[in-house]
């Protein structure tokens, strides 16, 4: 697990669902490998963790409808744009899904 600061080690609210951890770590490694900054890595980590908790199902059970409802409910403020990017990128670009699977329709 990557730790952005020493406080995170004891903050359960910033940890993803247990069944998402490995996929998120691999995705963050990919984001780092393409040259994103440490701040971007931290931000993307928190954004995808938030999504994992809101959708509240196994990563392999996330459907297109889950993504649509989540993204539609965010509105269009500047603060939500990064969250939309992380969800779209992780599911529609470089997949968080094991073995690069697509989301279920």
State both tokens at 26. Answer: 């691999």
With a CB cutoff of 8 Å and minimum separation 6, the contacts of 83 are 47, 50, 51, 74
In this prediction, residue 104 carries a pLDDT of 46
Give Cα separations from 73 to 55, 68, 69 (angstroms).
Answer: 12, 8, 6
List, for residues 63-93, the tens digit of each pLDDT value: 888 888 887 777 666 556 666 666 666 654 4
How is 37-75 classified by DSSP, letter by letter? -HHHHHHHHHHHHHHHHHH-S-GGG-BHHHHHHHHHTT-
pLDDT one-digit tens code per residue, 6-55: 555 445 567 888 899 888 888 888 888 989 898 888 888 888 888 888 89
How is domain 17-97 classified at the architecture level of CATH?
A: Orthogonal Bundle (1.10)
């Amino acid at each position: 697990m990557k730790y952005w600061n020493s406080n995170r080690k004891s903050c359960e609210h910033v940890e993803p669902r247990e069944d998402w951890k490995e996929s998120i770590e691999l995705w963050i490694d990919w984001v780092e490998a393409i040259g994103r900054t440490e701040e971007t890595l931290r931000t993307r980590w928190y954004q995808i963790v938030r999504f994992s908790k809101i959708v509240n199902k196994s990563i392999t059970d996330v459907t297109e409808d889950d993504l649509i409802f989540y993204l539609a409910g965010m509105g269009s403020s500047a603060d939500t744009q990064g969250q939309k990017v992380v969800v779209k990128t992780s599911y529609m670009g470089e997949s968080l899904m094991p073995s690069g699977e697509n989301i279920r329709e």
